[in-house]
Chain A
Amino acid sequence: MIRIAAVGDVHLGEDAQGRLRPALEKLPEHADVLLLAGDLTRHGTPEEARVVAREFHDVGVPVLAVLGNHDYHADAASEVTGVLTDSGIEVLEGDGTVLPVGGKRLGVAGVKGFGGGFEGRCASAFGEPEMKAFVGHTVEIADKLRTALDSLACDVRVALLHYSPVPDTLHGEPLEIYPFLGAYQLGEAVDATGTDLVLHGHAHMGTERGVTPGGVRVRNVAQPVIRSAFTVYCLDA
């Protein structure tokens, strides 16, 4: 059994040091790895990233992360990534990694993801250049996700996202904003690659559990949804 701890949307500001630390002290009792599903900061500044780095430093298990839209707000995503990487957190964006866990291989591929909406109710790359750029960004990221998931040689394959690949886990959010919360192309990439589990955040008012059209379990681990410092999923390898 591989035990995966996950949380997204912790939104740590410069004054937030220590908020999650009491729960994290016992993390190795609960899990073999910790996955962070983006929106780790409030404004995406390097100073906030240093708070995140200290909060998740030396927690006793490997920590992998993707960034979220908040982590891009200060136009310093590469510095944020550098701060996290220097502290030992592996930041994924169109790539993946394989970890040995209890004699099995856990593969994790990650991207931020983006919006656009879901099958039959989604944006198309048509018309104004701004619209083409919007949809083009989603398609590019979904293609990177598919390639990264495909390249993992592992026993259990997990996709780590910030935006949602399905509408199921958005229930509770206003329908009108679904296109800003995720895109079906992410789910398509997951379904094409033999993936076992998808973790995402971003939808604070959504629900935890969903499934892709191809039958892959999806979990929304945004902290307001799971209502704890992290939650744990156990997968048979």
Chain B
Amino acid sequence: MSETTGEAPEYLAARLRRVIAEDSRTAELGIQVSVRGEHVYLSGSVSSQQCKEELDAVLHEREPELRLHNDVRVVEAGEPGEPEVLR
């Protein structure tokens, strides 16, 4: 059980994933949430640095006592490498 929220870590992770998907400020369906004690780890990718920072803001607002580790990657948007030739 989480000492902070009083719920099993599996339910806490599921609830945080739904918040990330359903809050209009984040609207991210592909973020993985892992809970280890009072620590929450986020992984996956988003399209901008601001989207990454919104994850912090939304989760901190919901669960200010949890220690959040935002390991989400910002997707690259540069030119591609060599094309793939399909024969």
Q: Do A and B come from one complex?
A: yes
Q: Which of B75, B83, B85 contacts A223 (CB 8 A)?
A: B75
Docked-complex contact A23 and B48, CB < 8 angstroms? no
A230 touches B87 (CB 8 A): no
A230 and B80 contact, CB distance less than 8 A? yes
Question: Are B77 and A223 in contact (CB-based, < 8 A)?
Answer: yes
Q: A11-B46, A12-B47, A229-B80 are in contact. List 14 more A-B contacts (CB 8 A).
A: A10-B47, A19-B48, A22-B78, A26-B79, A42-B47, A43-B27, A223-B75, A224-B44, A227-B75, A227-B76, A228-B79, A229-B77, A231-B83, A234-B85
Tell me if B2 is interfacial: C-beta within 8 Å of chain A: no
Residues B83 and A234 in contact, CB atoms below 8 Å apart: yes
The tally of residues in B whose CB lies under 8 Å from a CB in A reads: 23
A83 and B10 alpha carbons, distance in the complex (Å)? 42
Which A residues lie at the B interface, using CB under 8 A?
1, 3, 5, 10-13, 15-16, 19-20, 22-23, 26, 30, 42-43, 70, 73, 196-197, 204-205, 217, 219, 223-224, 226-236
Q: Is the CB of B44 within 8 A of A204?
A: yes
Q: List 15 A-B contacts (CB under 8 A).
A: A11-B47, A13-B48, A16-B48, A22-B78, A23-B77, A23-B78, A42-B47, A223-B75, A224-B75, A227-B75, A227-B76, A228-B77, A228-B79, A231-B84, A236-B86
Q: Which of B51, B75, B83 is A3 in contact with, Cβ under 8 Å?
A: B83
- Cross-chain contact B27 with A228 (CB below 8 angstroms): no
The winner among A13, A70, A197 for most chain B CB atoms within 10 A is: A13
Given A10-B47, A43-B27: A233 and B80 within 8 A (CB)?
no
B76 near A228: Cβ-Cβ < 8 Å: yes
Tell me how far the C-beta of A112 lies from the nearest C-beta in chain B, rounded to whole angstroms: 15
4 closest A-B pairs by beta carbon, nearest first, are: A232-B83, A224-B45, A204-B30, A228-B80
A23→B76 CA distance, assembly (Å): 11
Specify which of A16, A30, A231, A233 is in contact with B47 (CB 8 Å cutoff).
Answer: A16
Q: Note all chain A residues with C-beta closer than 8 A to B76.
A: 227-228
Within 8 A of A (CB), among B40-60: 44-48, 50-51
B50 neighbours in A (Cβ, 8 Å): 15
